[in-house]
Structure 1
Amino acid sequence: MRFDIAAFAVRNWQFTLVAFGLLILLGVNALFSTPRSEDPHFPIPIVTVQAVLPGAEPAEVEQLIADPIEAALDGLDNVDSITSTSLDGAAVVTVEFDWSVNPERKYDEVVREVNAVRASLPQGLTRLEVRRARTTEVAIVQLALVSDHLPMRRLEKLADSLRERLDRAPGVREARYWGVPASEVRVALDLGRLAALQLPATAVADALRSAGAETPIGAAHAGDRRFNIKSGGAFRDLAAVGEIAVRRQAGQVVRVRDVAHISWAQQEADHLTRFNGRRAVFVTATQKDGADVAKVTAGIDQAVTDFERTLPAGVRLERGFVQAKNVEHRLLRLFRDFGLALGIVLITLLPLGLRAGGVVMLSIPLSLLIGLALLQALGFTVNQLAVAGFVLSLGLLVDDSIVVTENIARHLRAGADRVTAAIAGTRQITLAVIGCTATLMFAFLPLLALPGGSGGYTSALCRSPSCARSAPRSWCP
């Protein structure tokens, strides 16, 4: 005996109402709780190794750093390609794995191989970092601290303070600032003074190096308390650098300030940053995987508002880019399309009566709420591709609903009662409607077979759960 879902739904209308009522609640909950983002979040099997060796030429960087790291990573399984870029004092090695692997496991393998080869790399290496490529590495907020007169070092401190505030905001993965040359304490030696005192330049360098190193030299006991003692450490100000003793001669101590000029300086700027043509420092923030960009942005806005109250005169904080506004704009356009669809359905079905038009108008948002519930259950976010999928399904929803409702109305005009008309009208064209809809859906199936990152990116469009649109067809008008 064949099970007839249309007959079951119509004859057991109380069960149908309860079932769809629960689905509506699930959809409403998903509408407010499903994370929203600009792009879909999916794992990327790409890992980047960044190394910094100050003062080295590109050829040296390639030979001493890039080549050993490439040789170590080339032995890993499922490697698609390895590329490297050698610059003045820096190397970037990028390894891309096959998209069928587990990105987390491959990241751990890269970290293990880099740690194993670390001992063979130059001793002067100041940075060796392994980073995963993420779809959430795109900044969701870009702020600009604009000032034409404030010293760059002071502007850098403000940017660093803002960065710390953004780092503490809920859902923020990392905040960074851009456009500030690295600050440094410059010690300019007085060669004439050194020659008069018969001191080599290396004596000053050795004194600075030893004074800046923290060296544990023991412990002191005071009753039941124990204090660790360290020699050296970070310098508090420029005066502390000048007080470092270089050598004792003829009963006098020669200090750094006696043979050198000490001042703050900045490294050579490798790029310039401007906001609307004015000098600025940019501060950006990225979000964590699966976070709702709207909620994260709300926390950032609160931190930025509190920070603005502490800004000195002559500094203005500008909001250059906010991704949440783009997401909100797309959702508003989606709701606008829903409104247009409902209006078109109402006009089209007006000859059949307000009751039939009302049923179809109800089926459209109901189906999309069910789709949102499935979207949340499958772990997707509401992003631009998911919205595109909903827009595509919207046209199919309108077509199918109109066809089914009109066929039911035809049976009513032929003299059938409402229950018989609903069952017979739906049953008669179910196969045709499903076949037509499936034919349109199959046109998008090749997107699932796209290789590499293209397939991972477009999967959110193909998997948008619009298949729930067939559920309301058995509703009795």
Structure 2
Amino acid sequence: MTEPVEEAVGVVRNLRKLKSISRTGQSDVVLEFAWGTNMDQASLEVRDKMEALSLPLETKPPVLLRFNPSTEPIMRLALSPKQAPASDNDAIRQLTGLRRYADEDLKKKLEPVAGVAAVKVGGGLEDEIQVDIDQQKLAQLNLPIDNVITRLKEENVNISGGRLEEGSQRYLVRTVNQFADLDEIRNMLVTTQSSSGSAAEAAMQQMYAIAASTGSQAALAAAAEVQSTSSASSSSIAGGMPVRLKDVAEVRQGYKEREAIIRLGGKEAVELAIYKEGDANTVSTAAALRKRLEQLKATVPGDVEITTIEDQSHFIEHAISDVKKDAVIGGVLAILIIFLFLRDGWSTFVISLSLPVSIITTFFFMGQLGLSLNVMSLGGLALATGLVVDDSIVVLESIAKARERGLSVLDAAIAGTREVSMAVMASTLTTIAVFLPLVFVEGIAGQLFRDQALTVAIAIAISLVVSMTLIPMLSSLKGAPPMAFPDEPSHPQWQPQQRWLKPVAAGRRGAGASVRYAFFAVAWAVVKLWRGIARVVSPVMRKASDLAMAPYGRAERGYLAMLPAALRRPGLVLGLAAAAFIGTVLLVPMLGADLIPQLAQDRFEMTVKLPSGTPLAQTDALVRELQLAHDKDPGIASLYGVSGSGTRLDANPTESGENIGKLTVVMAGGGSRKWKRRPPGGCAAAWSGIRARRWILRARHCSVSPRRWKWSCAGRTWASWNVPGRSWRRCCGPMATTPTSSRRWKRASRKSRSVSIRNAPLRWG
């Protein structure tokens, strides 16, 4: 069935890549489109192609799913019993109760939270009414099994029946006929058997045979009753014998076949995967969920424990907090360096004001453009911290030069700003021209750097305006402005008219004077405080400035000494520059390429892929063994295992099935721990991954020699796990010559980046 589907959808426009996975009873076809494709239009085209496709009658209608980043749950909760089960029946009761509480209670209370799109429940034992039909009894009654299935569907309905209008009122009608309990299902009438002539005798014989085989007194009584009434010409059921479901089937309470087994710390649990809406904010949605869970604590049963396994908002909040802290530190260091070079408190204060003014104004334009405070936008602000003060430094330096030429404060502010205005504007526009094109880049790179590029461009553009307006105004406040007025009025003809306006002007001056005096008093206090701090700190900062400037002085003297020699040998200088350029170009291929750098988090995930066809119980046994082996490790906060794929929205078709097991390891203390014997680089997660590797090999019957590796595996098994910055993959398979193969490993030095663990080294990268 996969081939006709591929042929049908392979002609859709902008299709870039097509991949299919075929397995028993299911075919998954993955379509990848070119970047910038209208996915709504592409979905309609694919749907039209699938509707025109002729598939076998027994095939279910195809399901079209669009990939969305919101298919990754923002929060995962685990429901686990506080007490370990005493027996198998107790374990079944606990898992059934947990699943029922998650489906019927907790899920319905979490879905109305703002921003939540869906809550998927996995693990545990899901309730199911099982009807085991006896084929032999159906054959005795000459009753097809389809009739039983049809009767079950007809008797268990809840559908709309339309509308009724009576006057001005309109009523909605529903047909509700659902089963209430097991007895109602057992007593459901399947059919009636004729009781006339030979058919009645055959029916009586069948009824007695069924009653004798089951030993049911009720069936014997029913057969006797039918026999006593069969001679009459009329009966309550028109001469027919009722056949109920309990006569041909066994109805019992059970649970569905398990698709996934969830374990937390070695104990089975029930998972609630919470998905957000496409346009919802992850941090605000997670905060609302945490608040709702706090409110539900009082209603949680006493024997149930709710544990938050994963919360994406924590990583986002920590990342944003780190970027904010780095931006503040960068701003403080920028101000400190400015003071070291300028050695003037007022000039440093003026330039420092341009930093918060530019950043705060940038927030306004970010809101107008729909940008959020994320890691990339905050990274752009941190990057712009050093750039926004450049224009202010140039303008203030030009004003200072104008003052040195003997101009007044106001004239120096105007002349100094005018002299460098074009140069500052050209420099700012050049920097903006570097970042702004990133906004129009297509693909994943454009999505990653759009917020950062816009933030930097906006901040730099605002810094240009600040340097041309705010900096000259503040620089003019340092000296006393000319406040003297001429003795004679400029316009004596207006004196008579001004006399009667003086009382009105005096009232207005009195009302505004208090506001002006208060403002200038606060400004005067701030300036005096800043100057007082500068007087105290200046001696220390001057010493630090002298020490910091000493290398620059030596570099300046060396440069002046070398410059004449370089000018006399231009060929040598150009040759060295060309050699440096060629060497740099040759080093570029050695740098490597990656989309984003590895992120060091407090957790890592191990994935175990067993041979295809491995039952779910065997996969769960391996995951459970790994959890129990490391459950008491002081460096591990929690272990969360998933065997199988279940019904999660983020299940990958290429990595799903009963033979897939995943184990999430959450490190204690944020993943930092001082190990007695740790790998080079000090990665505690790497050490745990190495230990887990040994347990996987042992669990798959792979023996490990103290001095060498010895693998003896019955089937091909891949074990891989991903650690931030580290990765291992090992394959144990059947050996070609001998059932046991060995390879001697030599202890290597630290320089070769290998680590020896219990005399069995493992090379890592």
The answer to whether the superposition gives a TM-score over 0.5 is yes
Cα separation, 1, equivalents of 2:250 and 2:421 = 88
Cα separation, 1, equivalents of 2:263 and 2:99 = 15
Structure 2 CA distance for partners of 1:469 and 1:168, relative to 1, 3 Å:
same
Partner of 1:466: 459
1:393 equivalent in alignment to 2:336: no
Give the CA deviation at 1:194. Answer: 5.1
Structure 2 CA distance for partners of 1:313 and 1:128, relative to 1, 3 Å:
farther
Structure 2 CA distance for partners of 1:220 and 1:340, relative to 1, 3 Å:
closer
Letter of the 1:91 partner, please give it: S
Q: How does 1:267-278 map to 2 (within 5 A)?
A: 267-278=256-267
Partner of 2:755: none
Structure 2 CA distance for partners of 1:296 and 1:333, relative to 1, 3 Å:
same
Cα separation, 2, equivalents of 1:388 and 1:156 = 43
Q: How does 1:284-433 map to 2 (within 5 A)?
A: 284-350=273-339, 351-433=342-424
Give the CA deviation at 1:410. Answer: 4.2
1:162 equivalent in alignment to 2:111: no
Structure 2 CA distance for partners of 1:308 and 1:469, relative to 1, 3 Å:
same
Structure 2 CA distance for partners of 1:417 and 1:383, relative to 1, 3 Å:
same
Give the CA deviation at 1:362. Answer: 1.9
Give RMSD over aligned pairs: 3.8
Cα separation, 2, equivalents of 1:287 and 1:346 = 42
Partner of 2:700: none
Partner of 2:183: 239
Cα separation, 1, equivalents of 2:156 and 2:55 = 25
Give the CA deviation at 1:187. Answer: 1.6
Structure 2 CA distance for partners of 1:210 and 1:451, relative to 1, 3 Å:
same
Cα separation, 1, equivalents of 2:416 and 2:165 = 94
1:265 equivalent in alignment to 2:254: yes
Give the CA deviation at 1:214. Answer: 6.3
Cα separation, 2, equivalents of 1:255 and 1:221 = 39
Give the CA deviation at 1:108. Answer: 4.0
Looking at both structures, which has the greater relative contact order when contacts are Cα pairs under 8 Å and sequence separation is at least 6? 1
CA contact (8 A) 1:375 1:381 kept: yes
Partner of 2:201: none
Deviates more, 1:295-304 or 1:396-405: 396-405
CA contact (8 A) 1:189 1:260 kept: yes
Partner of 2:706: none
Partner of 2:42: 106
Gap regions ≥5 residues in structure 2: 85-90, 194-203, 205-225, 227-240, 476-765
Instruction: Determine helix, strand or coil for the equivalent of 2:76.
Output: strand
Instruction: Determine helix, strand or coil for the equivalent of 1:145.
Output: strand
Letter of the 1:208 partner, please give it: L
Give the CA deviation at 1:357. Answer: 2.0
Structure 1 residues 133-172: Cα deviation after superposition (integer angstroms, max 9, x where no partner): 3333332222222236553333223323333333211222
TM-score by length of 1: 0.72
Cα separation, 1, equivalents of 2:370 and 2:162 = 55
Cα separation, 2, equivalents of 1:107 and 1:164 = 31
Letter of the 1:237 partner, please give it: D
CA contact (8 A) 1:368 1:390 kept: yes
Give the CA deviation at 1:311. Answer: 1.8
Partner of 1:117: 52
Letter of the 1:454 partner, please give it: A
Cα separation, 2, equivalents of 1:191 and 1:276 = 45
> If you compute each CA radius of gyration, which structure gives the higher value, 1 or 2?
2
Letter of the 2:336 partner, please give it: I
Structure 1 residues 397-454: Cα deviation after superposition (integer angstroms, max 9, x where no partner): 2444444434433444454333333344444445555555566555556755655333
1:89 to 5, 25, 28: 25
Instruction: Determine helix, strand or coil for the equivalent of 1:361.
Output: helix
Cα separation, 1, equivalents of 2:449 and 2:158 = 53
Gap regions ≥5 residues in structure 1: 1-59
Instruction: Determine helix, strand or coil for the equivalent of 1:461.
Output: helix
Letter of the 1:117 partner, please give it: A
2:95 to 152, 156, 166: 152
Structure 2 CA distance for partners of 1:221 and 1:375, relative to 1, 3 Å:
closer
Structure 2 CA distance for partners of 1:211 and 1:273, relative to 1, 3 Å:
same
TM-score by length of 2: 0.47
Partner of 2:696: none
Structure 2 CA distance for partners of 1:447 and 1:283, relative to 1, 3 Å:
same
Instruction: Determine helix, strand or coil for the equivalent of 2:253.
Output: strand
Cα separation, 2, equivalents of 1:306 and 1:113 = 49
What is the aligned length? 410
Letter of the 1:235 partner, please give it: F
Cα separation, 1, equivalents of 2:366 and 2:271 = 36
State the identity as a percent.
Answer: 26
Cα separation, 2, equivalents of 1:375 and 1:268 = 51
Instruction: Determine helix, strand or coil for the equivalent of 2:261.
Output: coil
Cα separation, 2, equivalents of 1:170 and 1:364 = 37
Cα separation, 2, equivalents of 1:93 and 1:405 = 64
Structure 2 CA distance for partners of 1:208 and 1:72, relative to 1, 3 Å:
same
Cα separation, 2, equivalents of 1:454 and 1:338 = 23
Deviates more, 1:173-182 or 1:465-474: 173-182
Structure 2 CA distance for partners of 1:423 and 1:295, relative to 1, 3 Å:
same
